[in-house]
A and B are shown apart, each in its own frame.
Chain A
Amino acid sequence: MTETANRVVITGLGVVSSMGLGVDAFLAGLRAGRNTARPITAFDTTGFDHANGCEITGFAARDWIRTLNPDELGRASQFAVAAARMAIDDASLPVERLRGSRSLVTIGTTDGESRDLDSLVETEVGQGPQAMDPVVARRVPAGRLSAAVAREFGLTDTEAVTIPTACSAGNYAIGYGFDAVRGGEVDFALAGGADALCRKTFTGFYRLGTIAPERCQPFDADRKGILTGEGAGVLLLESERSALARGARIYAVVLGYGLSCDADHPVAPNQSSVARCMRLALDNSGVKPEEVDLISAHGTGTKANDVTEAGAIHQVFGDRPPRTVSLKSMIGHSMGAASALASIGCALAITEGFVPPTINHERTDPEIDLDCVPNTAIDADLTVVQNNGLAFGGNNAVTIFGKYPERAA
């Protein structure tokens, strides 16, 4: 088996987000700096003093899931399948062609189908465990997020693997897809992340005092925390050669990625380990720090995250770090989907030549000292964009994207 180092390009984007369904709605929302926070309806929020989130409304699984029975999939799997279908369509890749090729399907997640586990607990509390619905019980295993995509599209010569590495999982999946395509081991990779709002995770963050009462304000001196969100982002990756041969539109190049683990604290990020992850990603991509035009931050809007992440950025980029924005200000924290949706945001920013804003911004925390492009998108020619993902377990993952084609030297 010969190994060729392919250049890996993004040719399809699928988005299920609180901005709406599809890449066009997402792009419009990012350009407009749209705030999607609203009262949560996914579960009964009685007893919480505040419960805003970035929820998806108007998602009809049957519009997107045609082979499988949508009732046999949990909400996160439904999102993953829908986003994958959008990515395949967006890439103008015939499903028959995908079926006849070697592929990888890899979906990152934080909670998998914890929304279903929430409802099974309600059943158990009310009626006992023997009353738990078998259909719902079968939806629980996290591997199904990826397997469902492979099954929906009839893929057989494929590797379907879910990566539940929490809130950086989308970046892990994109990194895995990058390596598989780069090494010529697969022809196409469907890589991304998916999660559904659930009581369990909202409650946990609320208990930690990290849920903002109303809106998400990353890097702001008065930031009050995260808003939980949901959705899915899936990217179709293939080699440049393959994309050119079939005349596909190329959004951007995946230049590389890095992974590091803090091995320090279960929930609090470690600045030097986050910095190490960025350096690994830059090295893997063959990019120098001064070549990065924009950072899409993990930027959750909590005190701990934002200060630590900004510190790590200063550690790697010195006194003049690139503009650093947080998409979570607009779409909340969609957990395992977050870094996948942010990667899609990076690809769109490169293709469309703009920087999405950090909204809800009044005054930048002096301790952070970054240009977070407050409130209004700006036009910019971007050559290299970095996307940060941090997670519980100290699971850091950073991806780097580049403009296609590159400017002549």
Chain B
Amino acid sequence: MTTTHPVIAAWSAVSPLGMGRAAFTEGLRAGRTAAAPVDPGWDAPVEEACLVPGFDVKAVLGRKGTRSMDRVTGLAVTAVGQLLDGARGDERTALVLGTSTGSAQSIMDFTRDSLTGARPHLVDPARFPNTVMNCAAGQCAIWHGIQGPNVTLAAGRASGLLALRYALRLQRNDHAEAVLVGAVEEFSHARAWLEHRARTPAGLLGEGCAVLRLERRGDGPAEVLGVETAVYHEPAAVGPTVTGLVARALARAGVTADDVTLLSHSGMDGEADGARAALPGAETVPCAEVIGDTSAASAAFQVAAVLAAAENHPEPAPRTAVVTAVDHDGVAAAAVLRLRRPTT
């Protein structure tokens, strides 16, 4: 079958289930929560969270070039490195990375040093770049030689799908050939407290980075048929918004609800009902139940979860998947993926 749809050629995940794609796939299949007690050293208002096990920037990436690297950057550099699998980027390779607000920890630490130091400017200059939200994407470029468009974007929990939409548009308009697209979130004292104060109680927080390689064509586990977005204006509108969004996404992709066998939703109140109203026959793929609320990274992990679930799904093979994501601040998005059976 010939197609003009872009292809997800490969993916990687640095997740609470472990480092890499295999750990993520196996962990999701096992379905055991990745929640673990939070080390008191974090001084966080949560007892349990889903951290990437044993993730320490210097241990994973070495000491060179990591002296001032923060956690969110380390997670992104690691996940992009796994995706590239030894290859280097080039001028025609783009990176599009979703974030919530970069590293709230790095930003707040920097201000704290200014407020509590002997003089207000006695801060560590090497840590200043960490306080700017595009730090992780910029460091991924440096580490992996990615000289094409380098894009950071933010749309809360929908960031992964908005990043995918940005990537599609970047490629369609020939700003890049291959696009590495994903999203990242870190666990930190600052994030835990901000989430705890914003929405008491904070849910089960997770972290990590999931990244896809989007190619114009070729081999890969899925084709991206489309990404649609909307904004809702009150909590009661989440369900109807998602129903409408999924219907629109399917119509534009030229597939019917009957074709959709897998669904992943982000768990916002009303979202699952709204998605199921449009997709009564789809099987729901769990993600946040296992890895926690990964905030900005959640929709990227949902896409990875769908790909992982399709990989070893019993017959009949799943054909089409829908991923929905809804953020507290109004953004909603839905992606339609055509799943391919692995050829190996």
* A interface residues (Cβ-Cβ under 8 A, vs B): 1, 45-48, 109-114, 117-118, 120-122, 124-125, 129-130, 132-134, 137-138, 140-144, 146-148, 150-151, 154-166, 172, 176, 179-180, 182-183, 185, 199-201, 203-208, 258-267, 273, 276, 280, 284, 391-395
Contacts and interface: CB of A to CB of B under 8 A. Distances in A.
A261 B120 contact: no
Nearest to B110: A200
B154 A204 contact: no
Contacts of A182: 173
Contacts of B119: 47
Interface residue range, chain B: 35 or more
A393 B143 CA distance: 12
Contacts of A111: 132-133
A110 to B, nearest CB: 6
Interface of B: 45, 89, 91, 94-95, 99-102, 104, 107-108, 110-112, 114-116, 119-123, 125, 128-129, 131-135, 137-139, 141-142, 144-156, 158-159, 162, 165-166, 169-170, 172-173, 175, 189, 193-195, 197-200, 229-233, 241, 252, 327-331
Contacts of A130: 45, 197
Contacts of A112: 101, 133, 154
Contacts, number: 256
Contact of A203 (B45, B123, B146, B162): B123
Contacts of B108: 117, 120-121, 124
A109 B155 CA distance: 13
Contacts of A113: 101
Nearest to B157: A143
A269 B144 CA distance: 18
Given A142-B154, A164-B153, A393-B135, A263 B111 contact: no
Given A130-B45, A199-B111, A160 B155 contact: yes
B331 to A, nearest CB: 5
A124 B101 CA distance: 19
Contacts of B200: 134
Contacts of A266: 129, 135, 138-139, 142
B100 A143 contact: yes
21 contacts: A47-B121, A117-B108, A120-B108, A121-B111, A125-B112, A133-B197, A134-B198, A147-B330, A150-B231, A150-B330, A151-B330, A156-B233, A162-B155, A183-B172, A207-B123, A207-B128, A260-B148, A261-B149, A267-B129, A393-B137, A394-B142
Contacts of A200: 107, 110-111, 114, 131
Contact of A261 (B148, B252, B327): B148
